[in-house]
Amino acid sequence: MVRFDSNYLNAMDARYYPSELGTTVAPMTEAQQGVDAQLRTGAKLIEINVADPGQAFAARGSGRPIPSAGYGKEQRQEIKELAQVNKAALTVHSGSSTSMSPLGQQGVDAYQRARNMDELRANVDFAHDIGADSITVHVIGTPRPIQSIGDTRLKPEGLDRYDFVDMKTGKMVHQVSGDQEVRLPILDKVDYTDSTGKKRTRYNYRYDPETKGIQYYTPDTMGFKGGSVTFDQAARFFEEKIKIGQLPGFQGEESKKYTGADIALLHYLRQNEVLQQSEYDRWAAQSEERHKQLELLGKPGQDGALIDYITGRKNPNSLTAQQLRELTHKADTLMNKQFSFGSSFDPRRPETWSSAKERINEQYSLLEHEQHSAMERAANAWGSLKQTEDYLHSDDKNYPLRLQPLTKFAHKQNVDGIADLAYHSYQRSKDTGKKVMINPENIFPKFYGSHPDELRNVIQSSRREFEQKIAHDVSDKKKRESMSEEFIGACFDVAHAGMWRRYWEEEGKGKKNFDDWLADQAEALAKEGIIKKVHVSDHFGYEDDSLPPGQGIVPLKKVVDRIRKYEGKIPIISEGFGGPRSQSAKQVTESWRLFNPHVYNQATVLGGEAGETWDKLHYFDNNIRTYTPHFLAGDAVPEMLQPDFRTWEELPLE
């Protein structure tokens, strides 16, 4: 195992492994030329970036990105042989837009996902064809509020929304703003068997024996200040309860299948159910009332319709005594219902009825309109109520809510996709004899899968899914578990993880320094066997600037040293090709400088001070100053050496 802090006289000493510190070939560069150029800088580990789909016919030399489909058989063989001859290792990096859970207008776009999966399988084939060891794919989950992660060390963004998907249709059907005020009833879980014999779960309201009403959470009982509770606060409150196994209505480990947002939604939907039931009752009662009034007036032209005698269409003097009593009773009933016929109207004196003619025509039209409107609103409220009730039930015995956060749905899409790619690689390995590992990479904090806890969940779930896929080939459980670690392992991008700094809550008792937190998280992932590759570049905590290692504030060395405690020799790829020092060789040399491997760490052997570089060292005996070693070439040559003549690769000439 290499130790970065060891000291050897020669950079090519037997215990120096240049293959550990790798570099990248951008997708705008022909892979053969890019690999050749990187080999000349001293790189022994090279990651080839391929472009996103749809660009296979990009003209060579045009500067347009090249996808894996743009390389034919001969080119693939040439890349493979070039690496083999130079004893270099290759990896592949898929484009950033090939998401396994692409968002459309109504949730995850199934058509685009199918296209992206085809492209990713093609990239896996490319990796096998060139003899690569692994292929990196981005875990581009859906955007989600930072608050939903449940890590109290991260400060909330505020004004975020929570998106929820109907698991039956896969459509995004519900959104809740994070700052929306919610009233949350306290619920108790009840298991029951429905009329079809199916076991189901419902959540009953907890009633207050004193007020004889529903008990509600309050800001005080939830530990919040203020007169109301927002959806964000509710999600965080329930997340904390889940972590300590004290979620109200659930017992122990059972609660850990949920997120805080799940439980907040459950309570929110139950409150909506109360409101929708109340809304339905209100409009249904109004519709019924208007219907009864219209029945008493009768329809124009109908036998015995009171409205015909009031409007003069029929003569009340033609009525029998019995008919008059019936109409008088109807008029009395309407008046008792606050129906106004006017001050001159007397239901017992038919000669006064005509005084209400104009008023009754207006009232009749208004009653018809109100009855129709109330009926429509009652129907809408009934539909919403029934839909809410459906959302509160699921055929999934492991998750009784039919509505789930979009992030959870996207998580499943990513897990299925990663397992599918690993299985595809497994099948190809039967022909090529090489196991190409799938390396899901954490992306920016905005997206699900970027937090260390989320990345862990993605990798572990993908491995379990892959184990199920190979069960028909491999009967031994331990063998399947071992194979899942050979075919699936995270690519931990330290710079991406370092972007969590912008959300870090520095204040507060017991808060850990961000650099320590990040190193602890990486070490925990490595200890669990999650991390199998590392990407390094630098920035200043806000954006992914892709600076060479050591040029920003990301604690790269601290994190990598922690990872190496458990993973030992692990591929470390520099993606630091940004900034003013953007020459490709700087990706390698700046990594060497930061991690202090043997080529830049001769101080102790030669008697210099720790951390000094080659051009500042002195020999023991005659104090003669040394210069840059002869084996550093190309971009690795210090800028103080300015030869008049160089090759296009910047190799110094005699």
Percentage of the chain beyond pLDDT 70 is 74
Average of pLDDT values for 539-546?
Answer: 82
Average of pLDDT values for 410-414?
Answer: 87
Average of pLDDT values for 142-150?
Answer: 69
Average of pLDDT values for 604-631?
Answer: 38
Structural element, H or E, at residue 191: strand 187-193
pLDDT at position 16 over 70:
no
Cβ atoms 606, 619 nearer than 8 A: yes
> How would residue 148 be classed by pLDDT, with cut points 50, 70 and 90?
low
Identify which of 1-10, 402-411, 471-480 has the greatest average pLDDT.
Answer: 471-480
The predicted pLDDT at position 404 comes to: 79
Max intra-chain CA distance, the chain: 139
Cβ atoms 266, 201 nearer than 8 A: no
pLDDT at position 581 over 50:
no
Which residues, at least 6 apart from 238, have a Cβ–Cβ distance to it below 8 Å? Answer: 247, 258, 260, 262, 263, 264
360: left (phi > 0), else alpha (psi -120 to 50), else beta?
alpha
CA–CA separation, 190 and 83 (whole Å): 63
Mean pLDDT, rounded, of the chain: 76
Q: For residue 402, give both structure tokens.
A: 């039919």
DSSP state of 436: P
pLDDT at position 507 over 70:
no
CA–CA separation, 440 and 491 (whole Å): 6
Cβ atoms 227, 175 nearer than 8 A: no
pLDDT digits (tens, 9 = 90+) for 414-444: 999 999 999 999 999 999 999 999 999 998 8
Cβ atoms 59, 105 nearer than 8 A: no
CA–CA separation, 535 and 575 (whole Å): 7
* HEC per residue, 492-546: EEHHHHHHHHHHECCCCCCCCCHHHHHHHHHHHHHHCCCEEEEEECECCCCCCCC
pLDDT at position 254 over 70:
no
CA–CA separation, 254 and 242 (whole Å): 9
The predicted pLDDT at position 486 comes to: 96
CA–CA separation, 460 and 454 (whole Å): 10
pLDDT at position 595 over 50:
yes
Residue 96: name the closest of 51, 132, 144, 58 by CA: 51
CA–CA separation, 467 and 422 (whole Å): 10
The predicted pLDDT at position 606 comes to: 34
pLDDT at position 587 over 60:
no
pLDDT at position 614 over 50:
no
pLDDT digits (tens, 9 = 90+) for 62-96: 556 788 888 899 999 999 999 999 999 999 999 87
Cβ atoms 530, 440 nearer than 8 A: no
Cβ atoms 104, 154 nearer than 8 A: no
The predicted pLDDT at position 25 comes to: 83
The predicted pLDDT at position 588 comes to: 57
pLDDT at position 156 over 70:
no
Which residues, at least 6 apart from 478, have a Cβ–Cβ distance to it below 8 Å? Answer: none
DSSP state of 195: T
Strand, helix or coil for residue 302:
coil
Cβ atoms 231, 222 nearer than 8 A: no
pLDDT at position 640 over 50:
no
Which residues, at least 6 apart from 492, have a Cβ–Cβ distance to it below 8 Å? Answer: 441, 442, 455, 522, 525, 530, 531, 533, 534, 535, 563
> Within a 10 A sphere around the Cβ of 316, how many other Cβ atoms?
19
The predicted pLDDT at position 395 comes to: 66
What is the distance, to the nearest Å, from the Cα of residue 625 to the centroid of all Cα atoms in its chain? 55
CA–CA separation, 279 and 387 (whole Å): 14
Q: Which of 16-20, 183-187, 262-266, 302-306 has the lowest mean pLDDT?
A: 16-20
Beta-bridge partner residues of 504: 154
> How would residue 586 be classed by pLDDT, with cut points 50, 70 and 90?
low
Which residues, at least 6 apart from 575, have a Cβ–Cβ distance to it below 8 Å? Answer: 24, 493, 495, 535, 536, 537, 546, 587
pLDDT at position 191 over 80:
no
Q: Which of 131-135, 414-418, 560-564, 644-648 has the lowest mean pLDDT?
A: 644-648
Average of pLDDT values for 338-342?
Answer: 66
Backbone angles phi, psi at 646, to 5 degrees: -140, 155
Cβ atoms 438, 135 nearer than 8 A: yes
Q: For residue 28, give both structure tokens.
A: 């705008």
pLDDT at position 616 over 50:
no
The predicted pLDDT at position 328 comes to: 80
Average of pLDDT values for 278-289?
Answer: 87
Average of pLDDT values for 375-400?
Answer: 78
Beta-bridge partner residues of 137: 440
The predicted pLDDT at position 580 comes to: 47
Average of pLDDT values for 142-158?
Answer: 65
The predicted pLDDT at position 132 comes to: 95
Cβ atoms 231, 268 nearer than 8 A: yes
DSSP string of 466-479, one letter each residue: HHHHTTTT---HHH
> Within a 10 A sphere around the Cβ of 137, how many other Cβ atoms?
26
pLDDT at position 488 over 50:
yes
Q: Which position has the higher pLDDT, 623 or 530?
A: 530
pLDDT digits (tens, 9 = 90+) for 104-141: 777 777 888 888 899 999 999 999 999 999 999 998 76
The predicted pLDDT at position 351 comes to: 72
Average of pLDDT values for 287-294?
Answer: 82
What residue ranges define each of the domains in the chain, with the CATH number in brackets? Answer: 18-146+407-601 (3.20.20.150), 148-280+397-403 (no CATH), 283-382 (no CATH), 602-654 (no CATH)
